[in-house]
């Protein structure tokens, strides 16, 4: 049985980090984008990351950050995976990462606009990214709780390599995670607002239900 990896993003409290780990999260995301209601400082991210046991990956999310801002994050959390969630070009991602692995977020338009988004070209343009994270295009660079049209893309296309390279995000909740994983069969899923009681405050119950929903999908046949 394939095990879909789970990233929980936008954590701001030690108790939430500890519960996410206990529930089975593989990665924990810290938002280093000051306008976000889930933002933390690099220093705070470092404090939260110290709650992580071995083999749970900290991820630092940046939006159109400067090299100095990325370095400040890495000084606080040296072993973090980088996630670029803004308008960064492939060259900018490479320069900011400086040889480190990184995840590139693709902001997919909502509604019928998803079918006009050339995901194959995006995957080719960012071929050096370790993974592509597919999020809904909303005001504020993510965390808006909206899902894009999952039927808009050829998930089985070899250029996408979904089961090894794609991270499904955007509007995931305990109610729809099973369907999303069954349809896309991504390497991982990423949830933020879908497991919150308030922005930046995670719900232990919703985290548990989300993880259970993903595991149900792992145990079921892929959607047609």
Structural domains of the chain sorted by starting position, each given as residue range(s) with its CATH number in brackets: 5-218 (3.20.20.70)
pLDDT recorded at residue 224 = 58
Per-10-residue mean pLDDT of the chain, 224 residues long, equals 94 98 98 95 98 98 97 98 97 97 94 92 95 87 80 90 93 96 96 95 98 96 65
Phi, psi (deg, nearest 5) at residue 222: -65, 150
93 given a catalytic annotation: no
Query: Which listed residue (9, 16, 93, 190) is catalytic?
Result: 9
Query: Which listed residue (16, 93, 135, 190) is catalytic?
Result: 135
pLDDT recorded at residue 223 = 61
16 given a catalytic annotation: no
pLDDT recorded at residue 106 = 94
Give the separation between CA 165 and CA 159, rounded to whole angstroms.
10
């Amino acid at each position: 049985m394939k095990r879909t990896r789970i990233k929980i993003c936008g954590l701001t409290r030690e108790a939430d980090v500890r519960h996410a780990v206990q529930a089975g999260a593989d990665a924990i995301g810290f938002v280093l984008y000051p306008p976000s209601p889930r933002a933390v400082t690099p220093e705070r991210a470092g404090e939260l990351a110290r709650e992580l046991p071995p083999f749970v990956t900290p991820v630092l999310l940046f939006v159109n950050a400067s090299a100095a801002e990325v370095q400040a994050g890495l000084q606080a959390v040296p072993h973090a995976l980088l996630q670029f969630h803004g308008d960064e070009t492939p060259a900018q991602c490479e320069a900011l990462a400086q040889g480190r692995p990184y995840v590139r977020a693709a902001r997919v338009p909502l509604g019928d606009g998803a079918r006009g988004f050339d995901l194959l070209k995006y995957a080719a343009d960012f071929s050096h990214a370790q993974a592509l994270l597919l999020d809904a295009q909303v005001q504020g660079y993510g965390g808006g709780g909206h899902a894009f049209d999952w039927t808009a893309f050829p998930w089985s296309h070899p250029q996408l390599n979904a089961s090894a390279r794609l991270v499904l995000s955007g509007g995931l909740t305990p109610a729809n995670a099973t369907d999303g994983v069954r349809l896309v069969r991504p390497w991982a899923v990423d949830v933020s607002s879908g497991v919150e009681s308030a922005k930046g405050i995670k719900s232990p119950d919703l985290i548990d239900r989300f993880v259970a929903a993903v595991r149900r999908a792992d145990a079921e046949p892929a959607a047609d």
